[in-house]
């Protein structure tokens, strides 16, 4: 369940592993919880019925038991029992999880983390988040918000404000929405850059990918920002690797997938800057499951909750 669309997949699980039977994508043009539940019901009907159990991955902060949406900036929901309302609408068991957690589980089970014991997945998109999977189990932390790497502090309390309300968070500098806003501010101030033409044409097109493109073509301003972003990401992820010592670090999300140079640079910098005992053995991989990851992870978590033991294979 994204901000403006939902993507539904139906999967069949068995001895062979997990197989995607159908895919559906629907526009979500409502914010009212009941209306959103009805849109989910319609998507499941299109996908061939809700099946035995339903998993939903949502871009939201959830309670430790994953039933309550504590905060969903996309829908304006706060402290509301989404799982129960959806179970009543669908008449079947529902599990809800955070979209980054779900994608991290899917990458660990079926994607770039297959076969590793400890998998740290970092997704860079409109924001930035991470998920840690240990021996097939998602690590949630005491209140269910483990992995919120976007809100580690890289600047002091007088720096840029983040969507979480605090200042100096990594996300305030490298998250796609915040980075684009910062680029637009600089361009509006008249900074000398090849991005000015695009900015005058259509300011909404300014993105991390365009910044990387301009930096590669030699634009001095874009190069400076690119270097800053790469350094901030590399050092923050190196710190996470030093603390957690995972077998593999998976880099995914549109920000990394559309900026291959940024991704490569960050991977190299993490290995250099993490404590060498962690960095030397670290495998850095690119996410493999793309847009399916969130839905596939939600299906995996729903099936796991339902008591089915899945094999580590993605058909």
Least distance (Å) between residue 61 CB and Zn ion? 12
For residue 57, state whether it binds Zn ion (rule: CB under 5 A). Answer: no
Candidate segments 149-157, 178-186, 276-284, 290-298, binder of Zn ion by CB under 5 A = 149-157
Q: Which backbone phi and psi does 50 adopt, to 5 degrees?
A: -70, -15
For residue 151, state whether it binds Zn ion (rule: CB under 5 A). Answer: yes
Structure tokens at 189: 């101030």
CA-to-CA distance for 28 and 5, rounded, in angstroms?
5
For residue 250, state whether it binds Zn ion (rule: CB under 5 A). Answer: no
Least distance (Å) between residue 169 CB and Zn ion? 3
> By C-alpha distance, which of 306, 244, 271 is closest to 117?
244
164 or 257: whose CB is closer to Zn ion? 164
Render 131-166 in DSSP notation, one character per residue: EEEETTEEE--TTS-TT-GGGSB-S-TTS-B-TTS-
Candidate segments 164-172, 182-190, 258-266, 267-275, binder of Zn ion by CB under 5 A = 164-172
For residue 162, state whether it binds Zn ion (rule: CB under 5 A). Answer: yes
For residue 124, state whether it binds Zn ion (rule: CB under 5 A). Answer: no
Least distance (Å) between residue 19 CB and Zn ion? 39
CA-to-CA distance for 255 and 237, rounded, in angstroms?
15
Structure tokens at 111: 């994607």
For residue 130, state whether it binds Zn ion (rule: CB under 5 A). Answer: no
151 or 269: whose CB is closer to Zn ion? 151
Strands 61-62 and 68-72, sheet pairing: antiparallel
For residue 169, state whether it binds Zn ion (rule: CB under 5 A). Answer: yes
164 or 244: whose CB is closer to Zn ion? 164
169 or 230: whose CB is closer to Zn ion? 169
Q: Are 55 and 300 contacting, i.e. CB atoms less than 8 angstroms apart?
A: yes
CB atoms within 10 A of CB 203: 13
Least distance (Å) between residue 163 CB and Zn ion? 6
Q: Which residues bind Zn ion (CB under 5 A)?
A: 151, 162, 164, 169
């Amino acid at each position: 369940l994204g901000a403006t669309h939902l993507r539904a997949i139906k999967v069949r699980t068995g001895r062979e592993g997990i197989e995607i039977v159908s895919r559906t994508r629907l526009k979500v043009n409502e914010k009212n919880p009941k209306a959103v539940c009805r849109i989910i019901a319609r998507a499941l009907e299109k996908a061939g019925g809700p099946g035995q159990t339903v998993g939903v991955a949502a871009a939201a902060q959830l309670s430790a038991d994953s039933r309550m949406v504590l905060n969903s900036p996309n829908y304006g929901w706060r402290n509301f029992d989404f799982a129960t309302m959806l179970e009543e609408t669908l008449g079947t068991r529902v599990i809800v999880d955070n979209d980054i957690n779900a994608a991290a589980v899917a990458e660990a089970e079926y994607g770039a983390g297959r076969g590793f014991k400890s998998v740290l997945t970092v997704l860079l998109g409109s924001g930035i988040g991470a998920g840690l999977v240990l021996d097939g189990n998602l690590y949630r932390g005491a209140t269910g918000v483990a992995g919120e790497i976007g809100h580690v502090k890289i600047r002091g309390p007088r720096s840029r404000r983040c969507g979480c309300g605090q200042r100096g968070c990594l996300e305030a500098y490298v998250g796609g929405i915040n980075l684009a806003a910062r680029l637009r501010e600089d361009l509006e101030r008249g900074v000398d850059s090849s991005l000015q033409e695009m900015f005058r044409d259509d300011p909404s097109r300014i993105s991390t990918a365009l910044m990387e493109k301009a930096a590669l073509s030699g634009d001095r301003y874009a190069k400076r920002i690119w270097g800053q972003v790469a350094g901030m990401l590399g050092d923050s992820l190196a710190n996470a690797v030093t603390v957690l010592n995972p077998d593999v670090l998976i880099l995914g999300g549109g920000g990394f997938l559309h900026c291959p140079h940024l991704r490569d640079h960050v991977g190299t910098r993490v290995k250099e800057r993490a404590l060498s005992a962690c960095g030397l053995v670290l495998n850095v991989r690119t996410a493999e499951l793309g847009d399916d990851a969130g839905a596939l992870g939600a299906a995996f978590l729903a099936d796991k909750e339902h008591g089915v033991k899945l094999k580590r294979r993605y058909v």
